[in-house]
Chain A
Amino acid sequence: GAVVSQHPSRVICKSGTSVKIECRSLDFQATTMFWYRQFPKQSLMLMATSNEGSKATYEQGVEKDKFLINHASLTLSTLTVTSAHPEDSSFYICSARDNTDTQYFGPGTRLTVL
């Protein structure tokens, strides 16, 4: 099956710093990628839809200026958490959609803000 990677898998940062997470589709091109956040013992919550070459679409309640998304190529989307605070600590998961409208999920990135 299709493979989606994320980097880094785990990051610890100080409050006030920015963190960038990469999501790559390794063996297919994805015009659309998705970013999810997952808190402990809860299911995935869609944050935004990332479209190659255009602005991301954010879900209600998600601050676009805090969670910057860039989808510069058909295989790479990045999520930057700006001025991170402890409440941003979470598990961030991306997915990439192929041309059969199937989403493949990445392995996730554990963000801890001290």
Chain B
Amino acid sequence: KNQVEQSPQSLIILEGKNCTLQCNYTVSPFSNLRWYKQDTGRGPVSLTIMTFSENTKSNGRYTATLDADTKQSSLHITASQLSDSASYICVVSAGFSGGYNKLIFGAGTRLAVHP
């Protein structure tokens, strides 16, 4: 069964601190993995995308890693800001017949950055 599991479910950190969010997946066939940021009451916005051959991808203070062997990914946030408070969703794209991919969503990690 295709699944994406994220941890922790929620996280509270102080402004300026770093944090790392985890994503484990059992999706086959694997196409790519994206991390999205979703602000409350808004749609998800893509932060990073990684294919099978990519180990790391950065977008400003966000750095994602991918270990395709262990099927694990992480999202590291450096020097957190209050505006980083949001849900972070790991989404794995599974490649199916017909050429189109199906998205498998994790439940998300709710991050709260406090001053």
Q: Which residue numbers of A lie inside 8 Å of B, CB to CB?
A: 1, 4, 6, 32, 41-46, 91, 93, 95, 97, 101, 103-108, 110
- Name A93's closest neighbour in chain B (CB-CB): B43
Q: Which of A4, A104, A108 contacts B42 (CB 8 A)?
A: A108
For chain A, what secondary structure do more than half of its interface residues adopt (helix, strand, loop), or is it mixed? strand
CB of B41 within 8 A of CB of A108, answer yes
Smallest CB–CB gap between A103 and chain B, Å? 7
Given contacts A43-B106, A43-B107, contact A91 B41 (CB under 8 A): yes
Given contacts A32-B100, A101-B100, A103-B103, contact A43 B43 (CB under 8 A): no
Given contacts A43-B89, A43-B108, contact A105 B45 (CB under 8 A): yes
Q: Which residue numbers of B lie inside 8 Å of A, CB to CB?
A: 36, 41-46, 89, 99-101, 103, 105-108, 110
- Name A4's closest neighbour in chain B (CB-CB): B43
Smallest CB–CB gap between B54 and chain A, Å? 16
CB of A107 within 8 A of CB of B100, answer no
Q: Which of A41, A44, A97, A110 contacts B44 (CB 8 A)?
A: A44
Seed contacts A41-B110, A104-B46; 20 additional CB < 8 Å A-B pairs: A1-B46, A4-B43, A6-B43, A32-B100, A43-B105, A43-B108, A44-B44, A44-B105, A45-B105, A46-B103, A91-B41, A93-B43, A95-B43, A101-B99, A103-B103, A105-B43, A106-B43, A107-B42, A108-B42, A110-B41
